[in-house]
Amino acid sequence: MSVDIETKKLDDFRWVIPKIGKMRTEGLVYADEAMLAAIKKDASLEQVANVACLPGIVGRSMAMPDIHWGYGFPIGGVAAFDMDDGIVSPGGVGYDINCGVRLLRSDLDAADIRGQIPALVNALFRNIPCGVGSRRKDLKLSAQQMRDVLVKGAKWAVSRGYGSTEDLEHIEDGGCIAGADPDNVSDRAYKRGKDQIATLGSGNHFVEVGYVEEVYDEAAARILSLHKDQVTVIVHTGSRGFGHQVCDDYIKLLLSASAKYKIDLPDKQLCCAPLSSKESRQYLSAMACAANFAFCNRQVIAHWVRETFQEIFRMGPKDLGLDLIYDVCHNIAKIETHEVDGKKRKLCVHRKGATRAFPPHSELIPEDYKEIGQPVLIPGDMGRYSYVLVGTETALKETFGSTCHGAGRVMSRHQAQKIAKGRAIVRELEDRGIYVRGAGKGTIREEISEAYKDVRDVVNVVHEAGIGKKVARLKPMGVIKG
């Protein structure tokens, strides 16, 4: 297909890509006019159209406002497939399986800790391994322990004293995706992942200490135990080298499967297998292993965040009140039941760089959030702000309960390095009241604010389109970067 993809305006925040060629359905992009013009500069709209060509797609091939080019599916892509004649594609999940975000609230106020932010950030940087190949020497898993992590996810961490059972109530899927089978994971993946539990990794992963700068929905914020000027912590990381290897292994297998089942691919990066096939079952079980690895990873990191706060502020857990608000997946494929044309259907929903956003009274969200809907956590860049939203009925009807996952890159890491050359990025951030530590200067240069869309614009689109509802904005004070 041509990169010059036609779009037709539905309203100020929705654009349709009409069916052409081998597309089985339309594309739907959530963006405002200025954002769409920027999106058209890469091949991500072509990827939306390509996804629409895949067998068994149900509804439209969709893209959230943080869309940018990815492997196979665009990052920010959402698509659902029928269980009988549809497919599963590793390109619709991504390499960092269950890259996700968790948010902790606290009983501290920003003014009370601002002077101690450098000490806190340095301690977090010391206690949480960051960077490529990072590992923590005092947490090494035996082969059996690793298998247990892959099956039990965050539940394994809690059973070992890393957090509490209350945490599990506020993690998507209770911190454990069913169907994981460690026998479907390669030795190479085990080797890459065995020493990487509780490590932040590299790239855009981070731990951020911030505060509630603005509240938009007082009632929802109250249920989430959020209030203005309150200290918060965001943890953003995923399945590390383990998930990357799982994806790499199954791209090779599903390339063969695509040929075996005579699936006409518009792009080899969309390699896939029928959901009824042995290959798809193998991939979904290995993907669940990687997702559970990521849940466990964030759970242990959050435990060390709590320990670090206790160390710096010399306060006990009850006084700190570092409770988990929620933990969400970004890169995942899930078997879910949705209403389509008035009938309930079981579908495989791919969310790649997209967040589940289920509405109030959904059976799949915690009991204490039933009134407001699922918390949706949208991190921005290290120099601006992040957002807390809740899911909506509109999202459930239009996007299979999905919304954006972050700001979305607008330039490559190489471009960001070039623009940041000669600048003292750390000093620039300190001048704005944000203390940053990174595994290297290169990592920090790659993650400058200019490398991302302004997450305020992204969140405004999903809020105005009704596929997410704003609750609060969080401003960073201190960040550690992978």
Point out the residues that are catalytic: 405
Q: Is residue 63 assigned to a domain?
A: yes
474 close to 232: Cβ distance less than 8 angstroms: yes
**Domains in the chain, number:** 1
Q: Is 303 domain-assigned?
A: no
Does residue 320 form part of some domain? no
Distance CA 131, CA 112 (A): 30
58, amino acid identity: V
How far is it, in rounded angstroms, from Cα 326 to Cα 171? Answer: 5
| Environment class of 341 (CB within 10 Å of its CB; exposed 0-12, middle 13-18, buried 19+) | exposed
Domain span including residue 35: 8-95+333-369
Residue 250 placed within a domain = no
Within-domain flag for 267: no
The two three-digit tokens of residue 183, written as one number? 């026998």
Task: Say how far apart CA 30 and CA 384 lie, in whole Å.
Answer: 22
Strand partners, 395: none
Kindly give the confidence (pLDDT) of every residue in the chain, 482 residues in length, as a single tens digit, with 9 standing for 90 and above: 435 799 999 999 999 999 999 999 999 999 999 999 999 999 999 999 999 999 999 999 999 999 999 999 999 999 999 999 999 999 999 999 999 999 999 999 999 999 999 999 999 999 998 866 655 556 778 899 999 999 999 999 999 999 999 999 999 999 999 999 999 999 999 999 988 999 998 878 999 999 999 999 999 999 999 999 999 999 999 999 999 999 999 999 999 999 999 999 999 999 999 999 999 999 999 999 999 999 999 999 999 999 999 999 999 999 999 999 999 999 999 999 999 999 999 999 999 999 999 999 999 999 999 999 999 999 998 889 999 999 999 999 999 999 999 998 888 888 888 888 888 888 988 999 999 998 777 778 888 888 888 999 999 999 999 999 999 999 999 999 87
The pLDDT value given to residue 134: 58
Is 448 within 8 Å of 193 (Cβ atoms)? no
- 22 in any annotated domain: yes
| pLDDT for residue 1 | 40
Please report whether residue 431 resides in a domain.
no
Whole-number Å distance between alpha carbons of 431 and 434: 7
CA 306 vs. chain centroid, Å, equals: 22
338 within a domain of the structure (yes/no): yes
